[in-house]
């Protein structure tokens, strides 16, 4: 799974919305927690609501509908939702006092996992909707307006993507030159720490024609870089235009043919699903960016086995060797969990050793958080919180050092940068390196959507500074 940037990626997608179909417009405020797939889902829900007459707002007090798109991956994520619901309840009461409605909806993985419990714990909530039923949102809202409280968490049999409306072209243009595109959803791997197979359901791949059509629409709206999303994106497969069974590698080749799409990425991958064709795509497809998020979680075989990862540390390292042989400048990113039940000092040292061996360009690391209903939660020998803290600190210090060294190693080199948006400071624009770092350039260096050659002059905390090459 492991769509990363969980908890780093809270965005109010209000500014991403479309114009209402007809007046008077109702307003929706959407807050997104968690991974990139939730960011994508929030956009698609906003599109569905636009077709229902809602415009987006980023002022929560103005909203007729507040939608929290939630994340259940770790405990803190769900707790944040409950405390946010407390604040929103007060706003709902203030609006009610002046005769205005504020409906509250909870979507996403907490909605799926907790269902009706959310309304029991937060009675101000009007609707709870799981990730597989977003296309039913307008219907659900109609029933809510009729006075019902709705919990909609059955997995739908129909394909939600076929029923979700596409945004208007003008709206797509506003969303910028990079975009996410979900190609696969759900997970059949059942890592013992992970709640995703229960919240997102089993693995489903979207059909080739749907994906190509969506990518073409994005390119037509000026998108230059598309990141294909899936909990196990490299398990994607489907019947190709030639009648053959395609894997992700073949799909990437097809998407690279779309005029305007200059850059492709995919996330997140499982080591078990990196097949030869996908590795060949890294060798032969210049549009495929040389950056790979390939979580390993632990460097200890004992813990990997307990996690049901179904590979050893050696398997992972051997795989990286093949990938690096295909694409020399590829940068690696990963996810790590410290303090999985039974993790000893020696197990943790094995993780540190693996990190030193791989040398990551970026990584995300977390303390193990028992998820109700997952096998890990019921395992013996839970690691004390203080030990988890200490291990996480040591691991993060090492990963941060590697990330900074990776940036420093780029100083003086010339790289391609996709100009993405105006900078925070006047006179600057922000671009994106092939390895996902923000690149700060002079605003005259190029227009948004241009890919320009720049020379890296220095590094910031998390970014690169560059001049036109």
Q: Residues in the site for ligand 5AD, rule: CB under 6 A?
A: 1-2, 4, 6, 73-74, 193-194, 295, 297, 335, 337, 366, 368-369, 371
Q: At what angle do helices 208-220 and 248-256 cross, to 10 degrees?
A: 30
Which residue has its beta carbon closest to ligand 5AD? Answer: 2
**How near is the Cβ of 216 to ligand 5AD at its closest, in Å?**
30
The listed partner (ligand SF4, ligand 5AD, none) that binds 197, CB under 5 to 8 Å by sort, is ligand SF4
Instruction: Tell me the per-residue interface mask from 306 to 345 with ligand SF4, x by CB under 6 A, - otherwise.
Output: ----------------------------------------
Nearer to ligand SF4, 194 or 358 (CB): 194
Nearer to ligand 5AD, 153 or 351 (CB): 351
The pair phi, psi for residue 299, each rounded to 5°, is -100, 5
* Lookup: tokens for 101: 């409605």
Instruction: Tell me the per-residue interface mask from 268 to 287 with ligand SF4, x by CB under 6 A, - otherwise.
Output: --x-----------------
**How near is the Cβ of 426 to ligand 5AD at its closest, in Å?**
37
**How near is the Cβ of 466 to ligand 5AD at its closest, in Å?**
30
- Interface of this chain with ligand SF4, residues 181 to 240, rule: CB under 6 A: 187, 189-191, 194, 196-197, 231-232
- CA–centroid distance for 101 within its chain: 32
* Lookup: tokens for 242: 């030639």
The listed partner (ligand SF4, ligand 5AD, none) that binds 187, CB under 5 to 8 Å by sort, is ligand SF4
Binder among 2, 171, 185, 343 for ligand SF4 (CB under 6 A): 2
Nearer to ligand SF4, 231 or 362 (CB): 231
Q: Residue numbers of the site for ligand SF4 (CB under 6 A)? A: 1-2, 187, 189-191, 194, 196-197, 231-232, 270
């Amino acid at each position: 799974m492991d769509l990363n940037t969980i908890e780093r990626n809270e965005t109010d997608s209000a500014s991403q919305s479309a114009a209402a179909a007809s007046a008077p417009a109702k307003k929706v405020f959407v807050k997104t927690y968690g991974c990139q797939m939730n960011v994508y889902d929030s956009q698609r829900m906003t599109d569905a609501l636009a077709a229902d007459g809602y415009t987006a707002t980023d002022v929560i007090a103005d909203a007729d509908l507040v939608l929290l798109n939630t994340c259940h991956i770790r405990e803190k994520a769900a707790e944040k939702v409950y405390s946010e619901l407390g604040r929103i309840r007060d706003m709902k009461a203030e609006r009610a006092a002046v005769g205005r409605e504020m409906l509250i909806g909870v979507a996403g993985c907490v909605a799926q996992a907790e269902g009706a419990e959310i309304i029991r714990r937060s009675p101000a909530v009007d609707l709870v909707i799981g990730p597989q039923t977003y296309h039913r949102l307008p219907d659900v809202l109609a029933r809510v307006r009729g006075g019902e409280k709705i919990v909609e968490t059955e997995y739908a049999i129909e394909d939600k993507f076929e029923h979700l409306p596409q945004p208007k072209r003008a709206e797509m243009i506003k969303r910028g030159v990079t975009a996410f595109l979900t190609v696969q959803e759900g997970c059949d791997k059942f890592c013992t720490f992970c709640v995703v197979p229960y919240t997102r359901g089993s693995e489903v791949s979207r059909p080739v024609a749907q994906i190509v059509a969506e990518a073409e629409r994005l390119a037509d709206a000026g998108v230059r870089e598309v990141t294909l999303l899936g909990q196990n994106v490299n398990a994607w497969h489907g019947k190709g235009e030639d009648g053959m069974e395609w894997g992700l590698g073949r799909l990437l080749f097809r998407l690279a043919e779309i005029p305007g799409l200059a850059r492709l990425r995919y996330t997140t991958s499982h080591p078990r699903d990196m097949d030869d064709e996908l590795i060949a795509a890294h060798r032969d497809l210049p549009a495929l960016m040389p950056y790979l998020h390939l979580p390993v979680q632990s460097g200890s075989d004992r813990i990997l086995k307990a996690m049901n990862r179904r590979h050893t540390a050696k398997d992972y390292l051997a795989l990286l060797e093949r990938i690096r042989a295909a694409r020399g400048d590829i940068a690696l990113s990963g996810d790590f969990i410290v303090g999985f039940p039974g993790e000893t000092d020696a197990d943790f040292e094995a993780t540190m050793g693996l990190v030193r061996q791989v040398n990551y360009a970026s990584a995300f690391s977390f303390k193990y958080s028992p998820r109700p209903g997952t096998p890990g939660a019921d395992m013996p020998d839970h690691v004390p919180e203080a030990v988890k803290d200490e291990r996480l600190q040591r691991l993060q210090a090492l990963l941060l050092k590697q990330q900074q060294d990776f940036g420093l190693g780029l100083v003086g080199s010339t790289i391609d940068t996709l100009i993405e948006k105006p900078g925070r400071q006047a006179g600057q624009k922000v671009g994106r390196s092939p390895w996902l770092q923000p690149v700060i350039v002079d605003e005259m260096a190029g227009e948004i959507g241009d890919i320009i050659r720049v020379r890296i002059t220095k590094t910031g905390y998390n970014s690169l500074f560059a001049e036109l090459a």
